[in-house]
Amino acid sequence: MQRTRRNRLITVAFLFAGATLTVGLLLLAANENLNLFYPPEKVVNGEAPTGTGIRAGGMVVEGSVQRTGDDLDVEFVLTDYQGSDFTVVYSGILPDLFREGQGVLVQGQLDASRVFRAEQVLAKHDESYMPPELADLDLDRGSAP
């Protein structure tokens, strides 16, 4: 390779490496803040702050959804299936995909007794899709963790 070209290639490579390093360090420094939500473990062990607006996420425990009092008030438990779970209370319309056994994300505040008072509930879905007939057969999909 010609010398000038080699020098230009080295310059570009150094520039790119420098920029990558900068961005990498920035992402590393901001790592915690880049997470969209607190998993159940961090809500339970106290890492998630109380009394301030946060997001938390987890799987809706089967059979935990209870309509309390008025028509839109609802209460359910979120879990990571690893022993951490917490209660969410919410008043409002739940998204279509809200189902027991599915992932959801709640936005709101943790009160002093670590009950999550949600202002918004979002449904999370994964990348495994299935036709309804197959789902009815209740096949083991092999993609569950």
Partner 1 sequence: MRLKEFWHRLGSPRWFYQMSGPWQLGFTVAAGVLLLVGIIWGVAFAPPDYQQGNSFRIMYVHVPTAILAQSVYMVLGAAGVLLLVWRMKLADMVLQTMVPFGLAMTALALFTGAVWGRPTWGTWWVFDGRTTSTLVMLFLYFGLYALRQAIPRPEAAGRACALLAIVGTINIPIIKYSVEWWTTLHQGATFKLTEAPAMPIEMWAPLLVNVIGIYCLFGANLIANLRNEILRREQATKWVRELVARPLT
- Least distance from partner 1 to the Cβ atom of residue 139, Å: 10
Return the HEC string of 9-30. HHHHHHHHHHHHHHHHHHHHHC
Under the binding rule (CB under 8 A), the answer on residue 120 touching partner 1 is: yes
Bridge partners of 57? 105
Contact between residue 60 and residue 81 where contact means Cβ atoms under 8 Å apart: no
- Least distance from partner 1 to the Cβ atom of residue 134, Å: 7
Interface positions, 11-70, toward partner 1 (CB under 8 A): 12, 15-16, 19-20, 23, 27, 31, 34-37, 39, 57
Measured over the CA atoms of residue 121, residue 56, residue 88 and residue 54, the dihedral's sign is negative
- Least distance from partner 1 to the Cβ atom of residue 6, Å: 9
- Token pair 């209370």: residue: 89
Binding segment toward partner 1, per CB under 8 A, in 43-51, 77-85, 110-118, 128-136: 128-136
**Terminal Cα-to-Cα distance of the chain (whole angstroms):** 50
Give one DSSP letter per residue of 108-128, joined into a string: EEE-TTS-EEEEEEEEE--S-
Site size for partner 1 (CB under 8 A) = 44
Nearer residue to partner 1 within complex by CB, 7 or 66? 7
For partner 1, the binding residues (CB under 8 A) are: 5, 8-9, 12, 15-16, 19-20, 23, 27, 31, 34-37, 39, 57, 94-99, 102, 105, 120-136, 141, 143
